Amino acid sequence: MAYRFRLETVMRVRKLSEQRARQDLAAAVRSRRAAEEDLERSLAWCAALQQGSGVCSVQDFRYEREAAERAGRSLSAAGASLRGALELCEERTAVWQAARGRVRMLERLDERRHAEYELDQARREAKVLDELAAIRWLRARAEHPAGLGSQARHEEGASVG
């Protein structure tokens, strides 16, 4: 009889759940990186606008002002997007860690049960070997009831002399 973990199906489902959580976390990390890049682009845009051209016409002033407002809105949106992406990463990390913990718990249980099974198998094998030895000893005794004791004395006498 081979070892089979009784909760193998549950462990398989939990491993799939962990894999899905890991994929969701990877997607959240990609979103966070994209949000960081958007924020950096917005910061660069704002920095470029701050350099200004010095004295300018009213029309150029209005254009620069509108561009600065757009850059500010873009920066604000990029910051909000990054905050949301960071929160999502934290949430997905927690979900993945919980899923990993459930899988690891089942893996430890499987290891423990497998060790118990191996120990039980070793005990059974030892019991069978003990029974075989006892049967052989009883057969030898039945075939030579007095022979076992005299053979031992004969061997002792031969080794002394």
Residues 120-138: tens digit of each pLDDT: 999 999 999 999 999 999 9
User: Domains, the chain, ranges and CATH?
Assistant: 8-160 (1.10.287.1700)
Token pair, residue 27, equals 């997607």
What band does 27 get if pLDDT is binned at 50, 70 and 90?
Answer: very high
Q: How far is CA 45 from CA 7, 76, 80, 150, in A?
A: 57, 13, 17, 107
pLDDT of residue 40: 95
**pLDDT by residue (tens digit) across 39-91?**
999 999 888 877 766 677 888 888 888 888 898 899 999 999 999 999 999 99
SS3 94: helix
CA distance 43 to 59: 24
User: Given CA atoms 84, 88, 89, 91 in this order, what sign does their dihedral have?
Assistant: positive
Half-sphere exposure of 106 (CA within 13 A, CB side): 17
